Amino acid sequence: VDLDAIVCLDDMERAAQRVMDRQDFDYFAGGAETESTLRANRAAFSRVTIWPRCMVDVSDVDTTTHVPALGLRNLAAPLLIAPVAMQRAAHPDGECAAARACAAHSIPYCASQQSTTAIEEIGRAGGDDAPRMFQLYVLSDREATTRLIRRAESAGATALCITVDAPVLGRRERDVRNRFELKAGLKLANVDAKKNQNQNQNQAGPDKSAVDAKRAQSAIARRIGGRDASLTWDHLAWLRSVTHLPLVLKGIVTYADAARAAKEGVAGVWVSNHGGRQLDGSPATLDALPEVVAGVKEGVKEGAPTCVVIFDGGVRRGTDALKALALGADLVAVGRPVAWGLACGGELGVGKAVELLTEELRTAMTLAGCRDVRSARNRELVQVVGETP
């Protein structure tokens, strides 16, 4: 793919679609059931307008930010790469290429527990100074969960993101129709070394080929799929007892859950509906963002420490990111664009995606009269269509 011909993230998605296998593209692009929430995420941005201020000195706009509560410093922009599973399905260098690109651009990379590269290797690829997080599903097997947390700590994650919107997988019908499976040779790499060894032995046999590989893979998928659907607020204490890393709860969309999370003292809530891949019919994340911000405020008022708000869902433009910042997000994340970047050009492709978004955000801030991220986080900058000014 000629990266110079790619002018925006939508171009990048179209280019990725041209070069990817149908089943891989659909895996990354798809949502749950009717995909109404997937579409709603995008549509919500067109209902929010940005009201620019003029005659502001914008000769030197500063997009940099720090989020000390999550151990994230010197970020080039308030952006973040969301955890996206199985990135080697998009490019052979997968997670490592993406982590390198993020490190080079000083944008944090959140590794997925369901990565096709081991967390240690992703950590090394980014290098010591790379801002990074690790996403975790709490498994029924608490020892296995603790081992994953230790590995994330050793790999340099400064915050743990606990995904709470996926006690079971949403029904992604494209994958069912396509009979989507990881290609032979790829595996979910964060399972215990012993299990991997078994799997590698399975695959090593002279002509046991595809069938065994497939069987091994589905065994592992079942295992790592051992997430604990009985997880409740009561389990936060257990998580705190096994790690000192700040915790972020990913997948919160209601006022009540946000207020509870803040009151419980978590370091952050991540407004997300998993990119429309879980509960079809759940609200667009941009519509949920003001509720969550209000909920967090309420929780903090009752004495909890600050609680950071991360936002994702359909962000494809700098103006999308600016709208989310204005509505109260501290960091704005993108998921699918990392897959499109990888498919279009590995590390360079992800770098291009990050550059496009950062530069678009800078342009949007400049035109809106925001000299820095602090002034962009201003509720008066935007109106929701239909809202009384």
Q: How far is the CB of 71 from ligand FNR (least distance, A)?
A: 19
What's the rounded Cα separation, in Å, for the pair 266 and 299? Answer: 10
What's the rounded Cα separation, in Å, for the pair 323 and 286? Answer: 9
174 is an interface residue for ligand FNR by CB under 6 A: no
Among 1, 12, 28, 159, binds ligand FNR (CB under 6 A): 28
User: Judging by DSSP bridges, how do beta strands 308-312 and 331-334 pair with one another?
Assistant: parallel
- Helices 285-301 and 255-263 sit at what angle, rounded to 10 degrees? 40
What's the rounded Cα separation, in Å, for the pair 195 and 84? Answer: 23
Single out the segment in contact with ligand FNR by CB under 6 A; choices: 97-105, 138-146, 260-268, 306-314: 306-314
Residue 333, judged by CB atoms within 10 A of its CB (0-12, 13-18, 19+), counts as buried
> How is residue 365 written in tokens?
């801030």
CA 52 to mean position of chain CA atoms:
29
Q: How far is the CB of 201 from ligand FNR (least distance, A)?
A: 27
Nearer to ligand FNR among residue 346 and residue 369 (C-beta)? 346
Q: How far is the CB of 224 from ligand FNR (least distance, A)?
A: 10
Among 88, 91, 336, 352, binds ligand FNR (CB under 6 A): 336
Residues 103-122 that bind ligand FNR (CB under 6 A): 112, 114
> How is residue 51 written in tokens?
């009201």
Q: Which helix (H) or strand (E) holds 109?
A: strand 109-111
Please name which of 4, 45, 49 lies closest in space to residue 351, comparing C-alpha atoms.
Answer: 4
Single out the segment in contact with ligand FNR by CB under 6 A; choices: 144-152, 221-229, 307-315, 370-378: 307-315
> How is residue 54 written in tokens?
């003029």
Widest CA span in the chain: 72
Q: Provide the 10 A C-beta neighbour count for residue 232.
A: 8
# binding residues, ligand FNR (CB under 6 A): 23
Residues 36-55 that bind ligand FNR (CB under 6 A): 41
Residues 68-107 that bind ligand FNR (CB under 6 A): 82-85
> How is residue 321 written in tokens?
């990111």
Among 44, 266, 334, 357, binds ligand FNR (CB under 6 A): 334
Residues 128-157 that bind ligand FNR (CB under 6 A): 135
Among 263, 274, 362, 377, binds ligand FNR (CB under 6 A): 274
250 is an interface residue for ligand FNR by CB under 6 A: yes
State the catalytic residues.
Answer: 274
Nearer to ligand FNR among residue 69 and residue 136 (C-beta)? 136
3-state secondary structure of 365: helix
Binding site for ligand FNR (CB under 6 A): 27-28, 41, 82-85, 112, 114, 135, 163, 250, 272, 274-275, 277, 312-315, 334-336
